[in-house]
Copies of this chain bind each other. A is one copy, B any other.
Amino acid sequence: MAGIHTIAETERQVSLVLGSKALDFESMAVVANIFRASNNLRNHLERSVLQAHNLSWTGFVVLWVVWIWGPVETREVARESGISKGTLTGVMKTLEGRGYLVRDRGKTDGRLVDVSLTKAGSALMDGLFPQFNQEEAQVASVLSSQEKADISRLLRLIASHTAKA
């Protein structure tokens, strides 16, 4: 994938291992680079901004979703955050334990749970998000405005194409 070896080295080695079989190196590069960039981004943003607040990437994303759209039902938080409902339950438990959000069983539908931020949670996001966005800007500063628009559009195509049915 996209590690310490160059693309050319990797392709050469893959051809050695697989012989003359037809391979789609272009698509391989797309997948590898999406994954590598995402990994590096997540680690970078966790180290540079989130760790100081003892927040994981996903913890932050969940707080962000509830901060922006709350009060909001857990099924919507899971979808908006891109994680499963089971994972969300665990992450909410962690954030609830830290005093950042609360859960309330729905009044009209006993199956539903509403999530909202506490005062501490809102205060945290008010202070943290501008820093986070600043670091996002720093990270994306290697791209021009047009490149940012292009890459967002192309990634959205791929994300839509691979979204669960």
Q: Which residues of A approach B to under 8 Å, CB–CB?
A: 1-5, 10, 13-14, 17-18, 21, 23-24, 26-31, 33-45, 47, 61, 64-65, 67-69, 76, 79-82, 129-130, 133-134, 136-137, 139-143, 145, 147-152, 154-159, 161-164
Q: Are A140 and B27 in contact (CB-based, < 8 A)?
A: yes
A161–B149 Cα distance when bound, in Å, is 18
Q: A10-B68, A136-B27 are in contact. Are A37 and B155 (CB under 8 A)?
A: yes
Copies of the polypeptide in the assembly: 2
Whole-angstrom distance between the Cβ of A46 and the nearest chain B Cβ = 11
- In the complex, the answer to whether A14 meets B68 with C-beta atoms within 8 Å is yes
B43 and A164 form a contact (CB under 8 A): yes
From DSSP, what is the main secondary structure of chain A's interface residues? helix
Which listed residue (B2, B35, B67, B147) contacts A42, Cβ 8 A? B35
Cβ contact within 8 Å between A76 and B155: no
Query: Distance in Å from the Cβ of A147 to the closest Cβ of chain B?
Result: 6
Query: Which residues of B are found within 8 Å of A154, using beta-carbon distances?
Result: 143, 147, 150-151
CB distance from A61 to the nearest CB of B (A): 6
Q: In the complex the two chains form, is B37's CB within 8 Å of A133's CB?
A: no
**A10 CB to closest chain B CB, in angstroms?**
7
**Interface residue from B26, B28, B80, B141 paired with A145 (Cβ < 8 Å):** B26
Complex partner residue of A142 from B47, B65, B161, CB under 8 angstroms = B161
**Min CB gap A100→B, angstroms:** 16
Distance in angstroms from A149 CB to nearest chain B CB is 7
